[in-house]
A and B are shown apart, each in its own frame.
Chain A
Amino acid sequence: MSGHSTYQPQSPFMQWMERRLPIVSLVYSSFIAYPTPRNLNYWWTFGGILSFMLGVQIVTGIVLAMHYTPHVDYAFNSVESIMRDVNYGWLLRYLHANGAAFFFVAVYAHIARGMYYGSYKEPREVLWILGVILFLLMVVTGFMGYVLPWGQMSFWAATVITNLFSALPGVGEPIVTWLWGGYAVGNPTLNRFYSLHYLLPFVIAGVVMLHIWALHMVGQNNPTGVEPKTDKDILAFTPYATAKDAFFVGVFCLFYAWFVFYLPNYLGHSDNYIMANPGQTPTHIVPEWYYLPFYAILRAIPSKLLGVTALASSIIILAFLPWLDTSRVRSANYRPLYRQFLLIFFAAVIGLGYLGSQEPSGGYVIAARILTVYYFGFFLVILPLLGLFEKTKPLPNSISEAVLSGGRT
């Protein structure tokens, strides 16, 4: 962009610093002068919200780690001690537990926005794949965090999920033993999950930097999917995007605070307030709500190996989205058929989420199978064909034309 202003150090000290470590100009060009399309809507604020939530999780998590004991005999009671005896320990724990849930709310909104506006398409493939890696890391981190309170659901979720690896022919059993550090989920398992749960958020933070770097190489997509062409199409990140992001972080925090203070256990499962008991299986084991769609896919398939393959594929397939979608038009606003199929896809994922929370019997399994077929059919059949046959709407010549003509977004 021609109008992209650069940082000019004024004071002698800043000039001295700039010649040695140009960190101020890096921040300036990345978060102040960075050009953003002028038509970004509120769905674009979830990137900022996700960074905010990562910060909340790391800060509350570090303090919780100071009071937590990773041992099968003490973990449950140490969490209760945080709730009862640590000053504002209840606040830290509820912020962290509900923070994980709201982290996933934000990431699902972020992914959905990317899919709706075609943000994964050329030249943003690497940016998108880094995002899929981030989502995978979040899934693993969240799962390990859920194990730490060592309640019944923690223990049995750990047992069920690690056992999935046993479906692999030949190497399955040794891998599971290696993951557990023993012949059952036990103290070594809890210890390594704790260690990894502390490590992975910093890996996430590192990949987030790559994600932002890749973003700043290619620039943001926008609701029209047409690249900015002139200075009329863009605005400086600060104050425009910053003001918008800050407002929506506030709105998001209102929902987050409602759960932390008024419904702190709503998203959890009451069985997790029973200490882990390897001798007693809960009547039905369910993961946290944010894994339910994938859990439904796993259970929809009668073969264990195929179920596990489908579960893994359901996330990994996202990485291939830039090549599965053959259309040259990015935004669903100009792709009437894609828009319909995509909205059904979102509904199918929500439907799978509901089915994942129910007992896998009778009609529930049939419904889960229909939705699973749609899930994969959307990626493997609908998307490749749609790009070849779909008649798209005419694109605007530029972002400013779309905005000034009063067209939606």
Chain B
Amino acid sequence: MISRRIITAFALAVSLAATAMQTAAAEDAPPRQKWSFAGPFGIYDQAQLQRGFKIYKEVCSTCHSIKLLAFRNLAEPGGPGFTEAQATAIASEFQVTDGPNDQGQMFQRPGTLADHFPPPFPNDQAARAALGGKLPPDMSVLAKARGYEWGFPQFIIDAFIDYQEDGPDYIHAILNGYTAPPAGFALPPGGQYNKYFPTGAIGMPKPLSDGQVEYTDGTPTTVDQYGRDVAAFLMWAAEPTLDARKRLGFQVMIFLIVLTGLLYFTKKKVWHDVHHPELTGSQPPA
């Protein structure tokens, strides 16, 4: 059959080209973790967000800003679940630049719920100057600004299993990816080897080690656990409305399934006479 020959010839040509494709020797794939907020019904784990916040505050915040997050967010539903009093207390530990006052001077005052987290450096240049020329990225939407291209066919599978957690996976992987560089790897000055970082050489020194941050709830104080907790916190910071989105999504899906079902039966009823003219003996009106 001529059509089959066309298809075979065509498939052959494309596959010949495909065999010539080199496989991209990229960085290691970040191992996938179990996240409480994964899947259609996943929501944030409050205790985990509180632990993650503790790590951010004690470790990350010395270099990384989180400018889009406000102290009031800490007490909002779907978040770490601090009470308003606790969030106010946290805010008051930070000094915020305000002004100008009546004398035209900028001044420092304790933070309030309405304030955003103050950055650790007054500006990007100050951060670069203090940190050997490297600017630590702002962490507000970091968990959505990082990811990993799994390629075909995984990216299609992910659409069906609702997997969107490549960002937190990557953050966890980076925190656990500090190893000795492979033989022959030329590490640039000031760089650290990290097997999950795209170029292999990351500017950030290993930020966490076992037992560094104290947990009061008996959770293991390992870098693996720290990584998971701070990644969860950063995911919440990037997407504080995730819980509300999934709750509303479930209601919308139920509504749409019922509506579409009713529309299907409506269509069936309307078209009944068209498909079975013998039952009524008449043609539907045109």
**Chain A residues within CB distance 8 Å of chain B:** 1, 3-5, 35, 38, 77, 80, 83-84, 90-91, 94, 231-232, 234-236, 239-240, 243-244, 246-247, 250-251, 253-254, 257-258, 260-266, 270-271, 273-274, 283, 336-337, 340-341, 344, 351, 354, 359, 361-364, 366-367, 370-371, 374
Interface residue from A1, A236, A273, A359 paired with B141 (Cβ < 8 Å): A273
Bound complex: CA A243 to CA B159 (Å): 30
Q: In the complex, what residues of B have CB within 8 A of residue A341's CB?
A: 6
Cβ contact within 8 Å between B7 and A261: no
Interface string of B150-189 (1 = CB under 8 A from A): 0010000011001010110000000000000000000000
Interface residue from B141, B146, B147, B245 paired with A264 (Cβ < 8 Å): B245
Nearest residue, chain A, Cβ from B76: A84
A122 CB to closest chain B CB (Å) equals 24
Cβ contact within 8 Å between B283 and A231: yes
Cβ contact within 8 Å between A35 and B17: no
Cβ contact within 8 Å between A263 and B164: yes
Bound complex: CA A244 to CA B264 (Å): 8
Bound complex: CA A354 to CA B245 (Å): 30
Cβ contact within 8 Å between A340 and B3: yes
A391 CB to closest chain B CB (Å) equals 11
Q: In the complex, what residues of B have CB within 8 A of residue A80's CB?
A: 68, 140-141
Cβ contact within 8 Å between B286 and A1: yes
Cβ contact within 8 Å between B68 and A77: yes
Bound complex: CA A53 to CA B233 (Å): 35
Interface residue from B40, B140, B286 paired with A262 (Cβ < 8 Å): B40
Q: In the complex, what residues of A have CB within 8 A of residue B286's CB?
A: 1, 3-4, 35, 231, 234-236
Nearest residue, chain A, Cβ from B142: A273
Most buried by A among B7, B145, B158, B271: B145
Nearest residue, chain A, Cβ from B147: A270
Cβ contact within 8 Å between A261 and B274: no
Interface residue from A90, A257, A266, A354 paired with B256 (Cβ < 8 Å): A257
Subset of 5 A-B contacts with CB under 8 Å: A84-B73, A239-B270, A265-B144, A271-B145, A363-B20
Q: In the complex, what residues of B have CB within 8 A of residue A38's CB?
A: 274
Interface residue from A5, A232, A261, A337 paired with B285 (Cβ < 8 Å): A5
* B106, CB-defined interface residue at 8 Å: no
Cβ contact within 8 Å between B270 and A243: yes
Q: Nearest 3 pairs between A and B by C-beta?
A: A261-B249, A250-B260, A363-B21
Please count how many residues in chain B sit with their CB below 8 Å of the partner chain's CB atoms.
Answer: 59
Bound complex: CA A283 to CA B148 (Å): 13
Interface residue from B73, B238, B259, B271 paired with A240 (Cβ < 8 Å): B271
* B59, CB-defined interface residue at 8 Å: no
Q: How would you classify the secondary structure of chain A's contact residues: helix, strand, loop or mixed?
A: helix
Nearest residue, chain A, Cβ from B21: A363
Cβ contact within 8 Å between A243 and B20: no
Cβ contact within 8 Å between A254 and B257: yes
Cβ contact within 8 Å between B6 and A257: no
Q: In the complex, what residues of B have CB within 8 A of residue A344's CB?
A: 6-7, 10
Q: In the complex, what residues of A have CB within 8 A of residue B137's CB?
A: 274
Cβ contact within 8 Å between A273 and B3: no
Nearest residue, chain A, Cβ from B3: A340
Interface contacts beyond A232-B283, A236-B284, A247-B264: sample of 6 additional A-B pairs, CB < 8 Å, sorted by A: A3-B286, A94-B245, A243-B270, A254-B256, A340-B6, A370-B17
Known A-B contacts A80-B140, A364-B21; A257 and B167 likewise in contact (beta carbons under 8 Å): no
Cβ contact within 8 Å between A261 and B20: no
Q: In the complex, what residues of B have CB within 8 A of residue A94's CB?
A: 245
Q: In the complex, what residues of B have CB within 8 A of residue A340's CB?
A: 3, 6-7
Cβ contact within 8 Å between A251 and B164: no
Cβ contact within 8 Å between A243 and B260: no
Cβ contact within 8 Å between A374 and B10: yes
Cβ contact within 8 Å between B22 and A362: yes
Cβ contact within 8 Å between A337 and B241: no
Q: In the complex, what residues of B have CB within 8 A of residue A84's CB?
A: 68, 73, 240-241
Nearest residue, chain B, Cβ from A273: B145
